């Protein structure tokens, strides 16, 4: 009967599991054995184990549940730890960033087309008022401009004939009224 | 005149090159002594000689071995102690 046969209770004397009890579950070559118990379930060098006098009845490569039950008979309760779930990495954030960049680019591009669009819009707005004056301009603008001219022309006439003044103001509203109507 | 605190032995004199180009002596806080095993007095491995500020900003895992009695006993004394406890 070998010293480190299956079921041998040992104490780990090296590493972070030092001082914890474990049981040998299988022997491998080069002095390595599989241990489980208070320690992590892993291969271990027999140099890092201190055998104890007790032996547990376990099969080779026994499961964690069997080891837990065997240790419970000895009065040792094993604590099973669950692996922590890896926190979700912010890959979505990267995607959002990637999505934002094109939006920003588009946003940066959009203003550029908007500016030319604004021009035509302004042009559209301006033409409307411009068209109105354009339609009316040929008629009223010259009428307005002409109206003062005739008013200016008559002025010298007025200078000549003061009596014709009452008749000319009557002519001005006539010229102005058609301009306003147009 | 040298300040009194620099004559206490807590500081050590070091030569440093100053911005003017010349080499001048400066006082630097001395590092702690090497840690030793509490049982046999052997120098302990894995324990850096941090200054207080360096140790304060270092993780605990960087300041002593991750095993029972790490930083207090050498590995041989730790094994002997564990074996003795389980006899």
Instruction: Summarize pLDDT for B8-24 with one digit per residue, the tens.
Output: 888 999 999 999 999 99
Please tell me whether residues B51 and B11 are part of one structural domain: no
Please tell me whether residues B22 and B47 are part of one structural domain: no
CB contact under 8 A, A18 and B85: no
Give the chain A residue whose CA is nearest to the CA of B85.
A19
Q: With contacts defined as CB-CB under 8 Å, which chain B residues touch A15?
A: 67
Distance CA B47, CA B32 (A): 11
Please tell me whether residues B9 and B46 are part of one structural domain: no
CB contact under 8 A, A16 and B66: yes
Mutate to test the interface with B, among A10, A19, A51 (most CBs of B within 10 A): A19
pTM: predicted TM-score of the whole model, two decimal places: 0.58
Rounded to 10 degrees, what is the CA torsion of A109, A111, A115, A121? Answer: 110
Distance CA B20, CA B18 (A): 5
Please tell me whether residues B16 and B53 are part of one structural domain: no
Here the ipTM equals 0.78
* Cβ-nearest to B86 among A15, A16, A50: A50
Q: In CATH, what number does A8-73 get?
A: 2.30.30.30
- Under the banding of pLDDT at 50, 70 and 90, the label for residue A111 is low
Please tell me whether residues B71 and B42 are part of one structural domain: yes
CB contact under 8 A, A19 and B68: yes
Please provide residue B23's backbone torsions phi and psi, each rounded to the nearest 5 degrees.
Answer: -105, 125
Please tell me whether residues B42 and B26 are part of one structural domain: no
Please tell me whether residues B46 and B20 are part of one structural domain: no
Chain mean pLDDT for chain A? 71
Please tell me whether residues B46 and B84 are part of one structural domain: yes
Most trustworthy range by pLDDT among A61-70, A78-87, A171-180: A61-70
pLDDT digits (tens, 9 = 90+) for B50-60: 998 899 999 99
Q: Which pLDDT does position A161 carry in this prediction? A: 47
What SS3 state is found at A164? helix
pLDDT digits (tens, 9 = 90+) for B29-84: 889 999 999 999 999 999 999 998 899 999 999 999 999 999 999 999 999 999 99
Domain-by-domain residue ranges, chain A?
Answer: 8-73, 141-182
Please tell me whether residues B40 and B78 are part of one structural domain: yes
Total domains present in chain B: 2
Domain range for B65 is 36-87
């Amino acid at each position: 009967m070998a010293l480190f046969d299956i079921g041998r209770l040992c104490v780990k004397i090296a590493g972070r599991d030092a001082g914890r009890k474990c049981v040998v579950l299988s022997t491998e070559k080069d002095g390595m054995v599989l241990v489980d118990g208070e320690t992590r379930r892993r291969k271990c060098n027999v140099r890092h184990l201190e055998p104890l006098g007790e032996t547990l009845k376990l099969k080779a490569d026994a499961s964690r549940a069997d080891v837990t039950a065997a240790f419970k008979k000895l009065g040792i309760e094993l604590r099973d730890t669950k692996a922590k779930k890896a926190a979700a990495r912010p890959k979505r954030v990267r995607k959002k960033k990637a999505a934002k960049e094109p939006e920003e680019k588009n946003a940066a591009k959009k203003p550029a087309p908007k500016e030319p669009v604004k021009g035509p819009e302004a042009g559209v707005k301006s033409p409307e008022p411009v068209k109105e004056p354009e339609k009316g301009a040929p008629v009223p603008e010259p009428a307005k401009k002409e109206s003062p001219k005739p008013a200016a022309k008559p002025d010298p006439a007025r200078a000549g004939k003061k009596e014709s003044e009452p008749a000319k103001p009557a002519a001005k509203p006539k010229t102005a009224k058609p301009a306003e109507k147009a | 005149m040298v300040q009194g605190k620099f004559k206490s032995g807590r500081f050590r004199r070091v030569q440093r090159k100053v911005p003017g180009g010349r080499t001048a002596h400066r006082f630097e806080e001395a590092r702690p002594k090497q840690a030793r095993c509490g049982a046999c007095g052997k120098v302990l491995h894995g324990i850096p000689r941090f200054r207080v500020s360096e140790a304060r900003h270092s993780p605990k895992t960087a300041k002593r071995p991750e095993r029972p009695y790490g930083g207090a006993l050498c590995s041989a004394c730790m094994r002997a102690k564990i074996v003795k406890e389980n006899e």
